[in-house]
Amino acid sequence: MTISFLLLAAITIIGTAAAMTLKNLVHCVLALSLGLVGLAALYLQLGAQFVGFTQILVYVGAVAILAAFAIMMTRSADPTASNAAASFRASGALIAVLVFAVLAWATISGTSAQPIFTAAPEGSVGQVGAALMHRFVLPLEVIGLLLTAALIGAGILAMDEHRGTR
């Protein structure tokens, strides 16, 4: 466990935990983007340059901004008094803790016996591109179709039908 891993993990955990607990929704989105930048740095540390930069581009540049726009347009920036009943919150948190316990138990008991391949892999962007164009070309096309469908669908859903289509 290196210092850089601990630092980045701390940033990620603080950011995401703040995103899930803060009262003000805009603060949540900003904290989320901090956490996701930390996650992208973790990807870079693992040697996945392409995924790391894509993560920043997609999540900080698009998803966080989109969420901020949605918050502005639904006027939910002000902290609302209505929260879940205490019992509901407690049970939700309990479920999350239980899930973490199960996953952590599986991780600790499952991986320590396995051999570890520590040789740093060659994950250059050129190889990623070649793989996308040869072995993974069908998934790539399907993703293209999905994104186009999502673009059109999101546009139609968000359109205000009462005011005509402009």
Partner 1 sequence: MNPLSDYLLLSAFLFSIGLAGALTRRNAILVLIGIELMLNAANLNFIAFWRYGPHPEALTGVMFAIFSISVAAAEAAVGLSIILAVYRHSRTTDLDKLNSMKG
Partner 2 sequence: MFETIDQIFVLIKHWLLGYVPGMAQPLISAILSVVPVVIAFPLLFAITTVLERKGLGRMQNRYGPNRTGWFGILQPMADGIKSLTKEDIVPRTADQLVHFLAPVVMVIASFLVYAVVPLGRNMVIADLNAGVLFFFAIGSMVELSVFMAGWSSHSKYSLLGAMRAIAQMISYEMPLVLASVVVIMAAGSLSTVTIVNMQAGYTGIWPHWYVFTPWGITGFIIFMIAATAESNRCPFDMPEGESEIIAGYFIEYSGFKFALFFLAEYLGMFATSAMAITFFLGGWAAPFSFLTWIPSYVWFFGKLLTIICAFIWVRGTLPRLRMDQLMNFAWKFMLPLSLINIVGAGIWHFMPAGFTRWGVVSLLILLSCVLLSRGLRRNKWFHVRTYRFAS
Residues 6-65, interacting with partner 2 (CB under 8 A)? 26-27, 30, 33, 49-50, 53-54, 56-57, 60-62, 64-65
Residues in region 103-132 near partner 2 by CB under 8 A: 124-126
Q: Cα–Cα distance between 36 and 13 in angstroms, integer?
A: 10
- C-alpha to C-alpha distances, 130 to 29, 120, 134, nearest whole angstrom: 35, 20, 6
Q: Within 59-133, where are the H helices?
A: 64-73, 86-111, 125-133
Which of 166, 165, 154 has its CA nearest to residue 70? 154
Q: CB of 49: closest distance to partner 2 in angstroms?
A: 5
Distance CA 76, CA 99 (A): 30
The minimum distance between CB 164 and partner 1, in angstroms, equals 14
Binding-site partner at residue 137 among partner 2, partner 1, none, CB < 5 to 8 Å by type: none
Q: Closer CB to partner 2, residue 103 or residue 152? A: 152
Q: Which is nearer to partner 2, 92 or 129 (CB)?
A: 129
Cβ–Cβ under 8 Å, residues 31 and 13: no
Identify the CA nearest to 25 among candidates 69, 74, 66, 77: 77
Binding mask 73-92 for partner 2 (x = CB under 8 A): ----x---------------
Q: Which does 33 bind (CB under 5 to 8 A by kind): partner 1, partner 2, none?
A: partner 2
Rule CB under 8 A: say whether 145 interacts with partner 2: no
